[in-house]
Structure 1
Amino acid sequence: MTDETLAPETNTVRVERVVTSGTFSLDGGTWDVDNNVWIVGDDSECIVIDPAHQPAAITEAIGDRTVKAILLTHGHDDHIRSAGAFRDIVRAPIHLHRDDWMLWEAVYPDADPDAGITDGEIFEVAGTRLSAIHTPGHSPGSVSFHLESEGTDHSGVLFSGDTLFQGGPGATGRSYSDFPTIIGSIRSKILTLPEDTLVLTGHGDSTTVGAEAPHLEEWIARGH
């Protein structure tokens, strides 16, 4: 487990990354994975995006801050399997787009998320706002979150989940995923953001919109 402050601080908010390790299972396969957990807030309150694998380690990074919400970018089990335990620790509501609730129910058949997420929904924390952007393709309910840019060196920060990575789109070869859909989401909802928008991903290294945009046609040609 590692943690660091990755994105630039604004006047009121900072972004921290905690890297956790576990497994991802779908369609009969299981893989070892490292996940990026994102903490957005200040010294008193925060929102946590995708609290994967190790709830105690994430809680340690949060300290005595109040967690206002738990936002899930999508419902794959590496992103949600520890969310229930984390909710029990921090007593914050879990939000997941309803198009991914069938994935949630495969892990938690007896307990729903606390709320859905709608396109354009606003989540406020530490004097700034996170805007939800529905970006289906990796899963039907995949969502990215855009952080206001005021006070940073970037035109905002995008938490892309598993929709966009450094080097291309997220995987679409498994159940509930679709390559043309993820390309449509990236083309119309992510690559339309300013080029210097910082993209913080669900796994691996960060990137920017400008670094990825020139490669769209390459991804389409290779089909993944």
Structure 2
Amino acid sequence: MAARIERLVTSGQFTLDGGTWDVENNVWIVGDDREVIVIDAAHDAEAIARAVGDRRLTAIVCTHAHNDHVNAAPALADLTGATIWLHPDDLALWKQTHPHRDPDRHLVDGQVIEAAGADLTVLHTPGHAPGAVCLYDPGLGTVFTGDTLFKGGPGATGRSYSHFPTIIDSLRDRLLTLPPETKVLTGHGDGTTIGDEAPHLEEWITRGH
């Protein structure tokens, strides 16, 4: 059975640098009727567990460690027995939210995470956060971009641990080189495609400066 992608939207707050904002996050569930992975366990572990249902949750993969993307990860892991995966460059951010619980596994650029017909290749795409990653599955024609790429441009880089020239390099070298028909499924809001976003790179650079 081919893998499918399910979207759950959860609500909560994003907190960094002394500010707090109300946000809605996309939680992505990838797999089949037996086994799934969750990308970004945001805000509500019980709601995510209900969406997973009686399927085996093998991994909780964090695109980055801003609190709104990881705040439900330990509780979801406790509910399901899944392992939490995070790029080590985001451990400092992770510790702001979970000082007493480490991720279980480190994401490495180029590794492939398998789940029930899905093969998600890890692309290290720093800029929005040092350990930000995207997850690309050519079979599904989809890349999960977290907060690195949105419909209309790159993720925010105005706060601690972020860097605009770095996110531009990540977009240019790692994401916009993917096939133009690739679907972009984001950490917040509606998706897009690589082909729709790639022509605007120079505009983003000009805007960012």
Smaller-chain TM-score bracket: over 0.9
The two structures have a TM-score, normalised by structure 1, of 0.91
1:109 maps to what in 2?
99
Cα distance in 2 for partners of 1:104, 1:21 equals: 19
Letter in 2 for 1:214: P
Percent of residue pairs bearing the same amino acid type: 60
Give the counterpart of 1:84 among 50, 65, 74. Answer: 74
Q: Which runs of 4+ in 1 moved over 3 A?
A: none
CA RMSD of the aligned region, Å? Answer: 1.0
**1:68-106 alpha-carbon deviations (Å, 9 max, x no partner):** 111000000001111111111111000000000011111
1:56 maps to what in 2?
46
Unaligned runs of 5+ in 1: 1-10
Offset, 1:55? 1.0
Cα distance in 2 for partners of 1:143, 1:128 equals: 17
1:201-212 to structure 2, matched below 5 A, reads: 201-212=186-197
- The answer as to 2:61 corresponding to 1:95 is no
Give the counterpart of 1:75 among 41, 46, 65. Answer: 65
Unaligned runs of 5+ in 2: none
Cα distance in 1 for partners of 2:188, 2:11 equals: 10
Maintained 8 Å contact 2:109/2:124: yes
Cα distance in 2 for partners of 1:63, 1:148 equals: 27
Letter in 1 for 2:179: P
Letter in 2 for 1:61: A
Cα distance in 1 for partners of 2:116, 2:96 equals: 34
- The answer as to 2:167 corresponding to 1:182 is yes
Q: How many residues align?
A: 209
Offset, 1:184? 0.3
